[in-house]
Amino acid sequence: MSWWRRTSSRTPAGFNFTAGSTRATPKHPTTLARSGRTGALLSKGSTGRRRDHRQGSGLARGGSQAPRDKRLHPDDARLDQFWQKCAELKLPVNLHMADHPSCWRPPDRRQERLPRFQNFNQFGRDIPSFEELLAIRDRTLVRHPKTVFVCCHLGNQGNDLATLGKVLDKHPNLYLDISARAYEVGRQPRFATKFLQRYKDRVVFGTDQSINQKMYIAWWRLFETEDEFMSGPNWWRHYGLGLPDTVLEPMYRGNAKRLMNWEKL
């Protein structure tokens, strides 16, 4: 028996990862549609991480999985008008595409992340590959250049910031939230600092973790101190980035204000 066992009751339906949350409505014009919580200050309501991952998709949701050719992806022509309307209303869309790439690896001892992340493992499921999902994301960005998409969890490419930078360069309508990816930036503090400096206008602070003091203090230590060898949710240690105010201000507040059209507030 594998030491890494799937806990079926908590396993998210695979197709939830194939589409993003689309809960932005004119009724809540300043609410970023989200599957994670993009910025505690932006969030309305609290759903909890597991529920977010199971039910994160407003497009394709449910207990049973539709056949592949029946699933609705964000780049589907049937959604064109929806994304266009978001652009027209200046509603940014928080899109959760894919998940950490380790989810597509066998749930065995060679997994990069700790067993506690088994809930999100997708190996062997009838779902698109990690690469296919990112390709859907990129096609959506190209198809809707006027719509602003804020991709959760550093677009799930926090493990490869060099490639992620190229994606940002290619798609000016793409923004990122950094929710639940402290363990990605904390293990590559020098490159992550350069990345955040370069793309400081494209990344917003966000979280889909529990909103409490401990969570904020952990982010503060990571972003604002140069503390070393800090523990985190994985087996590796984090190193503080010591970010300057010129990066912190847009990430904490400025970008969100601009994206959410809150500048006059």
**Between 36 and 74, whose beta carbon lies closer to Zn ion?**
36
177 binds Zn ion (CB under 5 A): no
Among residues 15, 18, 34, 36, the one that binds Zn ion under rule CB under 5 A: 36
**Between 36 and 128, whose beta carbon lies closer to Zn ion?**
36
**Between 104 and 239, whose beta carbon lies closer to Zn ion?**
104
75 binds Zn ion (CB under 5 A): no
**Nearest Cα residue to 57 out of 39, 36, 81, 85:** 36
Residues in 106-125 that interact with Zn ion by CB under 5 A: none
Q: Which residue in the shown chain puts its C-beta closest to Zn ion?
A: 36
Q: Are 93 and 22 in contact (CB under 8 A)?
A: yes
Helix H or strand E encompassing 162:
helix 161-170
Amino acid present at 95: L
Binding-site residue total for Zn ion (CB under 5 A)? 2
**Between 36 and 107, whose beta carbon lies closer to Zn ion?**
36
184 binds Zn ion (CB under 5 A): no
**Segment contacting Zn ion by CB under 5 A, of 35-43, 117-125, 133-141, 242-250:** 35-43
Amino acid present at 203: V
Can you spell out the DSSP letters for 166-190? HHHHH-TTEEEE-TT-HHHHTTSHH
**Between 112 and 224, whose beta carbon lies closer to Zn ion?**
112
For residue 100, the minimal CB distance to Zn ion (Å) is 9
For residue 47, the minimal CB distance to Zn ion (Å) is 11
Q: Are 251 and 196 in contact (CB under 8 A)?
A: yes
CB atoms closer than 10 angstroms to residue 148: 22
| Nearest-angstrom CA–CA distance, 178 and 155 | 9
Residues in 193-252 that interact with Zn ion by CB under 5 A: 208
| Nearest-angstrom CA–CA distance, 245 and 243 | 7
Q: Are 219 and 108 in contact (CB under 8 A)?
A: no
**Segment contacting Zn ion by CB under 5 A, of 13-21, 32-40, 213-221, 241-249:** 32-40
Q: Which residues bind Zn ion (CB under 5 A)?
A: 36, 208
